[in-house]
Copies of this chain bind each other. A is one copy, B any other.
Amino acid sequence: MSSILLLHGPNLNLLGQREPEIYGHATLADYVANCTEWAREIGFDLEHLQSNHEGDLVDAIHSARGRHAAIVINAGAFTHYSWSLHDALATFHGPIIEVHISQPNAREPWRHTSVIAPVASGSIAGFGMLGYRLAIEAVSRIVR
């Protein structure tokens, strides 16, 4: 089970094209390539799914049970209202790292509440792509 599931929620497929002043110019492919590389360096495979469909993410979390050692998730807007994701993540037994590219607490009020934080092992926000590197490093240290 030395693999990590990396999940991206809605609209993150547009990374690099959408509000670059907030999210930067790297594309989702860049993010995934980097994460794959970082994971490999520490001996993990990385599987990736981006979806704008809440149900796809829930399904992916379910199939991660017993197959992946950890989940790294940037749930996008679902962070703020998807109790289904909350319940899905609660069924996963390994570490769950919540990542946000920007700092939600410095943006609109509805972005200040995370419904998945209570079931995440840890949360990392505001570091851009670096946040993913930190998350993967965290996984490697927690899992071992």
* Complex Cα gap A83–B134 (Å): 27
Within 1-51 of A, Cβ neighbours of B (below 8 Å) are at 9-11, 13-14, 17-19, 51
What residues of B have a CB within 8 angstroms of the CB of A91 in the complex?
A: 11, 14, 17-19
Within 97-126 of A, Cβ neighbours of B (below 8 Å) are at 103, 105-106, 110, 112-115, 117-126
What residues of B have a CB within 8 angstroms of the CB of A18 in the complex?
A: 90-91
Query: For chain A, which range describes its interface: under 10, 10 to 19, 20 to 34, or 35 or more residues?
Result: 35 or more
What residues of B have a CB within 8 angstroms of the CB of A120 in the complex?
A: 103, 126
A-B residue pairs, 7 tightest by C-beta: A53-B55, A122-B126, A105-B117, A52-B58, A77-B83, A10-B84, A52-B55
* Complex Cα gap A83–B54 (Å): 12
* Complex Cα gap A115–B112 (Å): 11
What residues of B have a CB within 8 angstroms of the CB of A141 in the complex?
A: 130, 133
Residue of B nearest to A17 (CB): B91
* Complex Cα gap A126–B96 (Å): 10
